[in-house]
Amino acid sequence: MKTKLKMKLGTGLRVALAATLGVNLAACGTTAGTTSTTGATGNATATTAATTGTATAVIESALPLIRTGAAVATGVVLDFTVSQSSTRTRLANEMYAAASAIYSLSGGAFPSPAQLEATVTAFGGSQADAGYAQFASGIASLYATYYPQLSTGNAKTAADLLNALAGGIEDATQSYVTVPAATAASVTGASS
């Protein structure tokens, strides 16, 4: 009994640490380049343009870290919280479907963190599953880290952020999914 409890606590601790690492890794990009300058006039237009450009630059420079953070948040659930391979495969397929849903969001207005989490949760066939709930929460938290900067950004930056999240999910589920691989271009309707 004590051994099982230790294993469960150890797994839970590893999951928490790895998820925190993923979010912190992605959050590193939020500190770079956050200063803005205004001209001698100090007018609001110049300040807004500088802020928008800075927010966009911060997110764009952090995209590789965001993708890695999404992969870590996804992989932690698949690798540490699930012990049965059939459950892992089912969760990976649901997570993969959620990545497709996130890609589809990148074609329109960018969602709030709550809307993104609701979308991710809706594409998981087993919303009551604690592992899937951890995944949805981790992805939404990662998105929420950058959402305040998106509100001053542009649609391309929002799409890039959503695509980085979806790409990270696909990276982590790649070895587990049982569905044919879909590309971002085929999901968003873009042609090559």
What is residue 2's predicted lDDT score, i.e. its pLDDT? 41
Residue 191 lies in a domain: no
Quote the CA–CA distance of 107 and 188 in Å, as a whole number: 7
Residue 3 has a pLDDT of 40
The 10s digit of each residue's pLDDT in 69-93 is 999 999 999 998 888 888 899 889 9
Q: In the chain, which residues have pLDDT < 70? A: 1-53, 108, 125-128, 151-153, 179-192
Which domain, by its residues, includes 142?
2-29+44-184
Please give the tally of structural domains in the chain. 1
Residue whose structure tokens are 């799409």: 159
* Predicted pLDDT at 128: 65
Token digits of residue 184: 């971002």
Answer whether residue 192 is part of any domain: no
CA-closest candidate to residue 95, choices 173, 36, 171 = 173
Domain presence at residue 51: yes
Query: Which residue type sits at 185?
Result: A
Question: What pLDDT is stored for residue 111 in this prediction?
Answer: 87
pLDDT of residue 180: 55
Q: Is residue 126 part of a domain?
A: yes
Q: Structure pTM? A: 0.69
Residue 35 lies in a domain: no
Backbone angles phi, psi at 11, to 5 degrees: -65, -45
- Please tell me the predicted confidence (pLDDT) of residue 171: 96
Residue 131, both tokens: 């592992």
Token pair, residue 3, equals 């051994």
Q: Is 25 inside any structural domain?
A: yes
In a domain, 98, yes or no: yes
Q: Is 190 inside a domain boundary?
A: no
DSSP secondary structure, 38-97, as one string: --TT--HHHHHHHHHHHHHHHHHHHHHHHHHHHHHHHHHIIIII---HHHHHHHHHHHHH
> Counting Cβ atoms within 10 Å, is residue 166 exposed (0-12), middle (13-18) or buried (19+)?
buried
Cα dihedral 94, 95, 100, 105, rounded to 10, equals 110
